[in-house]
């Protein structure tokens, strides 16, 4: 496949200026490196939000973004994820996990392990212990039996980054493929070799790259861009006021984004002519609704 970049929103809410800023940067990274650009709607957790997804696509088109194939929806590809999970199960590199979120939060974990990292509670249960837990009636999740504790990726903006790799969930107890599995499989299936997204996802890149290596996928080029935050320093959200494209208007949103990135032009063609990753801000942008 041709080199490809992408933007992959979740249809949980209308896009705010921070989301669009990341989408614009993903487009600029892709087009400046002669890559295709795709949109993927990550709707595994938002299956009733088709109207939101449609508004998101309209907003992206309104600010001038274009893409090279019709948007792909994750919900249409569950068989793709199931096939990969079944393969990993057959290879003996998975195990059933019976823990709830509360169990994980309360379990002791190794020193320096990040919040939310799985402590391995179910990793070495015997067959009898698994059977006893299944008898409780709660369906187990499927976890990867990771053989490394950390993995290193290279990021265009952050350089070499080493992060924790735990026994990540592949399929949740409700049968839905997990995000970390789906995003890796989708990127490989679509030929995505450049992943541009928010800085908050940098920590998940090592576990995703490690999973991809087990599946024989090439590691993509990563670029984790600074987030947009509110005046309290928290990640921008719709509750912060008039922050969506619908509120602000496409033209004004692009002017604000251009200013935040140091571009003279607010048009995508002008931004592309000016684009240089080295010159991009490295700190979050504080957004102040007008």
Give pLDDT tens digits along the chain (290 positions): 799 999 999 998 899 999 999 999 999 999 999 999 999 999 998 766 679 999 999 999 999 999 999 999 999 999 999 999 999 999 999 999 999 887 777 776 655 566 668 988 899 999 999 999 888 888 999 999 999 999 999 999 999 999 999 999 999 999 999 999 999 999 999 999 999 999 999 999 999 999 999 999 999 999 999 999 999 999 998 888 879 999 999 999 999 999 999 999 999 999 999 999 999 999 999 998 87
According to DSSP H, which parts of the chain are helical?
A: 17-32, 50-62, 78-90, 101-106, 127-134, 179-189, 205-214, 245-248, 250-261, 268-274
Domain extent at residue 170: 76-225
Whether residues 110 and 213 share a domain: the answer is yes
Q: pTM to 2 decimals? A: 0.93
| Structural domain ending residue among the three candidates 184, 201, 225 | 225
Same structural domain, 94 and 221? yes
Q: Are residues 31 and 135 in the same domain?
A: no
95 and 193 fall within a common domain: yes
- Domain closes at, from 170, 191, 225: 225
**Domain match, 51 and 98 both:** no
Same domain, 84 and 65: no
**Do residue 95 and residue 39 come from a single domain?**
no
Rounded to 5 degrees, φ, ψ at 77 are -125, 30
Q: Where a domain ends, among 199, 225, 251?
A: 225
- In the chain, the number of structural domains is 2
If asked whether residues 80 and 159 sit together in one domain, one would say yes
* 99 and 179 together in one domain: yes
Nearest residue to 17 (alpha-carbon basis) of 275, 264, 203, 251: 251
CATH number assigned to the domain comprising residue 281: 3.40.50.620
Is the same domain home to 260 and 194?
Answer: no
Residues contacting residue 128 through CB under 8 Å, at least 6 positions apart: none
């Amino acid at each position: 496949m041709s080199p490809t970049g992408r933007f992959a929103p979740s249809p949980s809410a209308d896009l705010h200026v921070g989301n669009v800023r990341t989408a614009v940067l993903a487009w600029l990274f892709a087009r400046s490196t002669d890559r295709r650009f795709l949109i993927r709607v990550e709707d595994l957790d938002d299956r009733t939000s088709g109207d939101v997804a449609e508004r998101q696509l309209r907003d992206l088109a309104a600010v001038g973004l274009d893409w090279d194939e019709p948007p792909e929806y994750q919900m249409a590809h569950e068989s793709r994820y199931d096939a990969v999970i079944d393969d990993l199960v057959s290879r003996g590199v998975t195990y059933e996990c019976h823990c709830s979120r509360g169990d994980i939060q309360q379990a002791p974990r190794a020193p320096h392990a990040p919040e939310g990292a799985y402590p391995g509670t179910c990793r070495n249960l015997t067959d009898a212990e698994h059977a006893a837990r299944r008898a409780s009636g709660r369906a187990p999740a499927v976890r990867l039996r990771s053989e490394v504790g950390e993995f290193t990726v290279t990021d265009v903006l952050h350089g070499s980054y080493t992060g924790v790799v735990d026994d990540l969930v592949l399929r949740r107890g409700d049968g839905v493929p997990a995000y970390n599995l789906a995003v890796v499989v989708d990127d490989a299936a679509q030929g995505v070799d450049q992943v541009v997204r928010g800085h908050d996802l940098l920590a998940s890149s090592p576990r995703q790259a490690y999973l991809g290596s087990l599946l024989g996928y090439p590691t993509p080029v990563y670029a984790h861009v600074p987030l947009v935050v509110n005046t309290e320093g928290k990640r921008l959200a719709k509750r912060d006021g008039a922050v969506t494209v619908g509120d602000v208007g496409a033209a004004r949103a692009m002017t604000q984004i251009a200013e935040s990135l140091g571009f003279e032009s607010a048009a995508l063609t002008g931004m592309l002519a000016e684009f240089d990753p080295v010159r991009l801000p490295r700190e979050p942008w504080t957004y102040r609704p007008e």
